[in-house]
């Protein structure tokens, strides 16, 4: 629900900040960049708040669609309370990336992982409601901390960028958000709709381990992205030089880790999920090896994103999304969660 609402509410505005922000800052246009950032933070937050209110109102229907059980509607309503906070935190992460404040960005990501760990304490105290309440409160606290980190950008003045002009430029990124959802998140949604809740729970466990690899790769690639936006001003030779060095660095940093996770899938599941999830060791090994290809896809995509036109990045993501959803549905019918992995 958080991911869907994030896609609906963003309008592509935060992505435009990541692409255009470093270039504007390198040219000394700080006020223009800050106005764009304020617009990209405010409008998606307002839209996310409205969408969350609608989902809160229609919680029974959402529970019936996703969990096949209308009695869990109160849990859906609890999740809805955190949607706007999740949207705001996500926007601030992108703005920290655009402004190249990687120390603060890393601290916020580590804090988010700590919140997820603390949520286990909430589960121990009050069950699933306690876990979700901890996550919701944590998202809002992290969003407020992120606003403090960006106070010199967001609150130095009240000037906004022209919303319609910014939205028109960002439209391919907005469409790309839904396409990206198909590439990275639709598997969990389709497994939940098409298979049994027990299979969704198993897939969720292995996806969590896969997501740690994705987060690791994204952290590495994200550190290069703002620099790429600056290098487009310096010329093609500088871009080529940076590409050669960073691709070698990524290979050394990612390949050994993915191979280790794939080879240790069984003991990792035993520690992380428990005995009832051990049958998913092959899907986990498959996803760990898939992280190698995700690294190449993400790294090449970062160059298209930073150096190309928005519509070119949309085309790249569209191919990935169609393959992920189409092949996933085709293979899931005979192989279950292994097919989607």
Residues 6+ apart with CB under 8 A from 253: 220
Q: Which of 19, 40, 44 is nearest to 162 (CA)?
A: 40
pLDDT at 231: 67
d(CA 339, CA 341): 5
d(CA 206, CA 245): 32
Tens of pLDDT along 153-197?
999 888 888 888 888 888 887 887 777 666 666 666 666 666 666
pLDDT < 50 regions, the chain: none
DSSP alpha helices (H): ranges in the chain? Answer: 2-10, 13-26, 30-57, 59-67, 73-80, 83-98, 102-149, 151-154, 163-184, 186-194, 197-234, 236-263, 265-272, 281-307, 310-335, 337-340
- pTM passes above 0.85: no
User: What φ, ψ does residue 200 adopt, rounded to 5°?
Assistant: -65, -40
pLDDT at 37: 92
Burial of 185 (0-12, 13-18, 19+ CB in 10 A): middle
d(CA 284, CA 65): 27
C-alpha of 78 from chain center: 21
Label residues 109-129 b or e (16+ Cβ within 10 Å = b).
Answer: bebbeebeeebeebbeeeeee
d(CA 319, CA 313): 10
Show the tokens assigned to 159: 């000037």
């Amino acid at each position: 629900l958080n991911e869907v609402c994030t896609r609906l509410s963003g309008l592509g505005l935060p992505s435009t900040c990541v692409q255009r922000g470093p270039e504007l800052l390198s040219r000394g246009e700080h006020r223009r960049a800050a106005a764009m950032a304020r617009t990209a933070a405010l409008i998606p937050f307002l839209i996310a708040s409205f969408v969350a209110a609608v989902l809160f109102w229609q919680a029974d229907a959402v529970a019936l669609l996703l969990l096949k059980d209308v009695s869990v509607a109160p849990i859906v309503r609890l999740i809805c309370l955190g949607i706007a906070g999740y949207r705001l935190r996500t926007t601030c992460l992108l703005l920290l990336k655009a402004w190249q404040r990687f120390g603060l960005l890393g601290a916020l990501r580590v804090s988010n992982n700590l919140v997820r760990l603390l949520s286990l304490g909430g589960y121990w105290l009050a069950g699933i409601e306690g876990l979700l309440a901890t996550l919701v409160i944590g998202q809002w606290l992290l969003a407020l901390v992120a606003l403090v980190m960006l106070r010199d950008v967001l609150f130095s003045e009240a000037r906004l960028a022209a919303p319609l002009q910014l939205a028109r430029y960002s439209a391919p990124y907005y469409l790309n958000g839904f396409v990206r959802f198909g590439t990275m998140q639709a598997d969990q949604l389709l497994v939940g709709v098409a298979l049994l809740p027990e299979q969704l729970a198993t897939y969720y466990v292995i996806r969590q381990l896969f997501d740690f690899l994705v987060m690791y790769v994204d952290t590495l690639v994200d550190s290069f992205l703002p620099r790429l936006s600056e290098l487009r001003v310096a010329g093609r030779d500088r871009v080529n030089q940076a590409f050669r060095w960073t691709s070698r660095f990524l290979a050394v940093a990612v390949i050994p880790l993915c191979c280790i996770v794939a080879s240790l899938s069984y003991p990792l599941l035993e520690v992380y999920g428990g005995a009832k999830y051990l049958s998913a060791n092959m899907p986990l090994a498959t996803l760990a090896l898939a992280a190698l290809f995700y690294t190449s896809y993400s790294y090449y995509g970062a160059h298209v994103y930073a150096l190309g036109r928005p519509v070119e990045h949309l085309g790249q993501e569209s191919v990935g999304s169609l393959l992920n959803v189409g092949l996933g549905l085709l293979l899931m019918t005979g192989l279950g969660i292994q097919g989607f992995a």
